[in-house]
Amino acid sequence: MKRFRWVKIGTLIALLFLLGISTGDYHPIPDAQAFAGTGGSTYDQIKVFSQALSIVQRNYVDVPDTREMVRGAIKGMLRTLDPHSSFMDPDMYKEMQIDTTGEFQGVGITIGIRENILTVIAPIDDTPAFRAGILAGDKIIKIKDKPTKDMSLMEAVKLMRGPKGTDVTITIVRKGADKPINFTITRDVIPLISVKTKEVGNDIGYIRITQFQKKTMEEFDKALKKVRKDKKDSFKGLIIDLRNNPGGLLMSAIDIANRFITSGPIVSTKGRLKNQNYSYNAQKKGTEPDYPIVVLVNGGSASASEIVAGALQDDKRAIIMGTTTFGKGSVQTIYRLSDGSGMRVTTAKYYTPSGRSIQNTGIEPDIVVENHTGKSTGHIREKDLAGHLANEQLKGKKKAAEGKDKGAAPQMDLVPDNPKDDEQLMRAVDLLKGLDFFRNNQPPGTQGKSEKTTGQ
């Protein structure tokens, strides 16, 4: 049996492509340990399930499909755990193994389930869904005239994926719209590009990471090298944009953080089993010079994005700017079952270098900046998901923290396409220019003392 480390938003990984995942050896748990638990003997509970299955097989009005009943039971079992544990049938499990260096064919959106409704997390840039006008917060009520009520994420993925050039009709309910809206979207090949750059100023570098994939580190290094080369001696600092980045591969996030941290922990994970406890430490080799960095985040920045932001914040290597992040502080492991199906199971929580958990709380920016675009949409955060894991570090603050936005959907700033309309981006540019001016206009003999101010 194999296991895979996964830190993407479990309920949000329906990107209409599924990322490749890193592998490691799995050591089976002895039966006695596997069945140890609370709430009575596990063997007794399995006996009850067996009785129920037998009754249905003997007495149901039609001949039932035992395989589908068992799979349905597994789905229900995992749903009782947390929002990120889920079942994959063999087809979906195969999709999980798609190499991230390849491509997929679909419409290009990330989706999740909120209040039992299939909801758009965000359209992927430059995809058919993005060009059609699908927005974050749109509620999908039908796919190909099939109601999405009680539909799993994997089922939704199956319906929306398909060959390039074929159409799929999606019916959505949008806040402020008088009636449901139909979008007929032509599927296309969606390139797996995770790093993008653009000009935001003659002396400021800008790199956006849309998600953390197998080749993200390679793409990031190429982009950073080009930025440094183009700016040459005028280079005043770097903006790393993680807004609306739902996460991805754990090791990819660690590699990005390691590019800017010289020593010490980057992230640690802790689970019930010893083999889920890891500490990932920075290596000095290949670390970038100590120039100013601003990391942009918002409510769509999750999981692996939060690992990078948290590491750079704790190390005081970068200034975190924007709005509070998603707040997913857990790690999922993928297990293959004997019939070719699979399970995604939450096996650990992760912690920033200072030891803090961001589960349900997210990363609080050093500088809070909203994007007042005139448009905003309800945005899902971890604390809004039914059955989310508790944050053991909140203790007495737990109820206040989790009840703060009860009954009201958090708002996400929409990121404008034009940099000049992007308030968060422009504030980051101004901040880097200000830091550069400060560094270069100090009294003689004090320049060296200002080095660590670049990350505060």
CA–chain centroid gap for 256, Å, is 15
Q: Which residues pair with 348 in a beta bridge?
A: 331
Which structure tokens are listed for 190? 């969606």
Taking alpha carbons only, the member of 140, 154, 169 closest to residue 85 is: 154
Q: From the candidates 252, 303, 305, 341, which is the catalytic residue? A: 303
Q: Which residues pair with 294 in a beta bridge?
A: 239, 319
- How far is 184 from 236, CA to CA, in rounded Å? 45
Surface-to-core class of residue 448, CB atoms within 10 Å of its CB (0-12 exposed, 13-18 middle, 19+ buried): exposed
In one letter, which amino acid is 10? G
Q: Please give the backbone phi and psi of residue 386, each rounded to the nearest 5 degrees, phi first.
A: -60, 135
Distant-in-sequence, close-in-space partners of 446: CB < 8 Å, separation ≥ 6: none
Question: Which token pair is 243?
Answer: 């807004």
Spell out the SS3 assignment of 207-256.
Answer: EEECCECCCHHHHHHHHHHHHHHHHHHHCCEEEEECCCCCCECHHHHHHH
Residue 450 annotated among the catalytic residues of the structure: no
The answer to whether the beta carbons of residues 366 and 323 sit under 8 Å apart is no
Residues 258, 317 contacting (CB under 8 angstroms): no
Cα torsion angle, 106, 129, 305, 276, sign: negative
Of the residues 138, 255, 314, 384, only one is catalytic, namely 314
Torsion sign across C-alpha atoms 354, 219, 23, 326? positive
Has 303 been annotated as catalytic?
A: yes
314 catalytically annotated: yes
328, 349, 384, 436: which one is catalytic?
Answer: 328
Q: Are 421 and 116 in contact (CB under 8 A)?
A: no
| Active site members | 303, 314, 328
